[in-house]
Structure formats: structure tokens, C-alpha cells
Amino acid sequence: MTTAVVVEGLHKTYGTVRAVNGVSFTVEHGEIFALLGRNGAGKTTTMEILEGFRARDGGRAEVLGLDPGDPATKRRLSERVGLVLQDIAVEPYLTVRETIARNAGYYAAPRDIDEVIGLVDLVGHEKKKVRVLSGGQKRRLDLALGIIGDPDLLFLDEPTTGFDPNARRGAWKLVRTLRDAGMTILLTTHYMEEAQVLADQVAVIAAGRIVAAGTPDTLGGRDIARTRIRFEPPPECAVTDLPVAAVPGDDGLVTVESAEPTEMLHRLTEWALGRGVALARLTVDRPSLEDVYLYLTSDDQRAPERTLERSAP
Ligand SMILES: Nc1ncnc2c1ncn2[C@@H]1O[C@H](COP(=O)(O)OP(=O)(O)OP(=O)(O)O)[C@@H](O)[C@H]1O
């Protein structure tokens, strides 16, 4: 794999707002890279600099070997890049097919129009005017317009917002298919499940800085974080009666965190079986990507590198 996108010490300020404050990351060819962060964290600004829509104030940006800020290579780059932005203006009185066909005309070697209609699951809607499409159908049309030029690199800005769960899974399948066929994909999303399912690499941006980066499974030390055991204490049993230290929650469950979950579970279940009681609603899990994300983007966003409490000594 070679590098498709290089970002090094990127800076962008709007007046007094430091929207992007020294962001660095790389995206390898053929991988799905997700940029995560709260509203206003700096994701769109970073994407727009890479898409060539916004000038940077400092740092280096390289997209498919070209500087996205260089007007001399803008056209060459736009031929190889697909965009699915948050707001795409399309002509409301054209049909789905006409809209895709019109965009296909902008490229030297576009994909087949019917193939793209099939890929984004708009078969049967080809003759509908854009203005009557539902929000999710419109977003699928946006996706079609992003891939009609058969790009090497696809930018997806919150691609599945407004999708129903079935359509979202369909879009995930499409994105993976595109990646498997060699396309590089850089996406932003507020859905952690989307990042977990799709991304090969993720980076979390907070107040214009990357606060953590890695695979969805290892982000912020998630893979070595303590295991959480949760259950409902048996009736008439106080938290202090339990054989291990547990923290009660608002939902009637108690939580036990452990670096040795096998031993901890054994102690708990042995205790429960010995008394003939059940540990109702028992679950054992590691922090989810969403847990880690919420921790990393909590209000105190100043810590440059953050990790969860680790199970390692
Ligand atoms: N054109 C602009 N002029 C002034 N400030 C801007 C402009 N665009 C963005 N900002 C500010 O820059 C910061 C970063 O915004 P940006 O849109 O990059 O965040 P984001 O992570 O994409 O947010 P969201 O998830 O809401 O799309 C915010 O404080 C925002 O208000």
C-alpha cells in the first residue's frame, strides 16, 4: 500500500477561531479512513482543504501526490476524486437518471450509469424527479454522483445521515465493495457503529487537534482497557454483600471493572450459585468505540493524548 493522503501540521483559522490546529494523519491507498469528532471540531474544514475548496493557513497537504491548494493541478485532481458532501445542489426537475447522466458527462471515463444506479440501490426510481425523492433516496443519489466518475479517492461527509437502518447497511456494503475494488475512502461520521463497521483507521479530532488515532478496535487503548461486568444484584442483596467491589448505576445494574475477567466472573458466579441466586441481566464487555469516543471528546478536550484505564499493570 502506498500513501494516498498526507496531512502534516495543517492549520486553518477563521478570524479568532482555530478550526484546524496542527492536524497530521496519513491515509493509505485502498483503505477506509474515518475522521470523527464533535460538531465544530474541524472535520469539514480539514476535508474541504483536502478537497481543494478551502485554502490552508499552514502545514502540508498532499492528495494522490498533488497539492489540493495548487490551482495548476486542480482539474487533474478533480478527475480522480469523488465527493459526497453534506449539501449537494442538484436540479430538482431532472430525474435520477438524467442527474447521474449529466454528471457522467463531466468525466473522461465514467462508470456505467445503470451499474451505478444498481450499486446505490436506486433501481425503480430512475424516472423519479429529484424533488420527490425521500431524504435517504436523495442521499443515495449523492453517493451515485460521488462514484460516477470512478474516482481513486472518495470523500464522504456524513454519508448515511437520514438513512433508515436497512439503507445504512446497504450503503456500508457499497462502501466496502468500493474499497475492496481499490478505492481509497476518507469519511466523516457521527455514527460510531459506522466507523466500527467500515473504517480500517480512525482519527478523533477535538478542537482542531487529533486526540487519538488507530484502528477502531485499538483506539484510545480500547483493546487493553479493563473488562466491564454488569448485572442486577439479587433481591435483598446490597452492593456491599457482593464478593467483589461493584459500582451501582442509575439503571439498577452494578458494574465491576477488571483486568482479570475470567477470575472475576468465576468469583461472582460461584458466589451466586452457592446462594442459589441469579445474576440477572449479566453482560461482559469491553468499552465500545462509542464509549472511547465519548471519553476522548468529553468537555476537557485539552489533553493531547488520552487513553482509557488500562488492564496492563
Ligand atoms: N466559513 C467559516 N467561517 C467562520 N468560522 C467557520 C467557518 N467554517 C467553520 N467555522 C468554524 O470552524 C470550526 C470548525 O468547523 P467545522 O465545520 O470544520 O467542524 P466539523 O467538525 O465539520 O463540525 P460538524 O460535525 O458540525 O460538521 C467551528 O468552530 C466552526 O464554527
Residue 221 sits at φ, ψ, to 5 deg, of: 80, 20
Instruction: Please identify, by atom number, the ligand 1 atom nearest to the C-alpha of residue 190.
Output: 25
Domain ranges of the chain: 3-219, 226-285
Digit-by-digit pLDDT tens for the chain (313 residues) are 579 999 999 999 999 999 999 999 999 999 999 999 999 999 999 999 999 999 999 999 999 999 999 999 998 898 999 998 877 677 888 999 999 999 999 888 999 999 999 988 899 999 999 999 988 888 889 999 999 999 999 999 998 887 889 888 988 988 999 999 899 999 999 999 999 999 999 999 999 999 999 999 988 888 878 899 999 999 888 899 999 999 999 899 999 998 888 999 999 999 999 999 999 999 998 888 998 899 889 875 444 444 455 554 4
Question: pTM score, two decimals?
Answer: 0.85
Q: What is the ipTM of this complex?
A: 0.96
CA of 19 to the centre of ligand 1 (A): 6
Angstrom distance (rounded) from CA 25 to CA 54: 18
Which residue's CA lies nearest to atom 6 of ligand 1? 14
Give the HSE-up count for residue 49: Cα atoms under 13 Å, Cβ half-sphere: 25
Question: Residue 306, Cβ neighbours under 10 Å: how many?
Answer: 19
Q: Which CATH architecture does the domain made up of 3-219 adopt?
A: 3-Layer(aba) Sandwich (3.40)
Test site for ligand 1: of 16, 44, 194, 297, most ligand atoms within 8 A of the Cβ: 44
Test site for ligand 1: of 39, 161, 204, most ligand atoms within 8 A of the Cβ: 39
Angstrom distance (rounded) from CA 248 to CA 274: 22
For the chain, what is the HEC assignment? CCEEEEEEEEEEEECCEEEEEEEEEEEECCCEEEEECCCCCCHHHHHHHHHCCCCCCEEEEEECCECCCCHHHHHHHHHHEEEECCCCCCCCCCEHHHHHHHHHCCCCCCCCHHHHHHHCCCCCCCCCEHHHCCHHHHHHHHHHHHHCCCCCEEEEECCCCCCCHHHHHHHHHHHHHHHHCCCEEEEECCCHHHHHHHCCEEEEEECCEEEEEECCCCHHHHHHECEEEEEECCCCCCHHHCCCCCEECCCCCEEEEECCHHHHHHHHHHHHHHHCCCCEEEEEECCCHHHHHHHHCCCCCCCCCCCCCECCC
Instruction: Please identify, by atom number, the ligand 1 atom nearest to the C-alpha of residue 208.
Output: 14
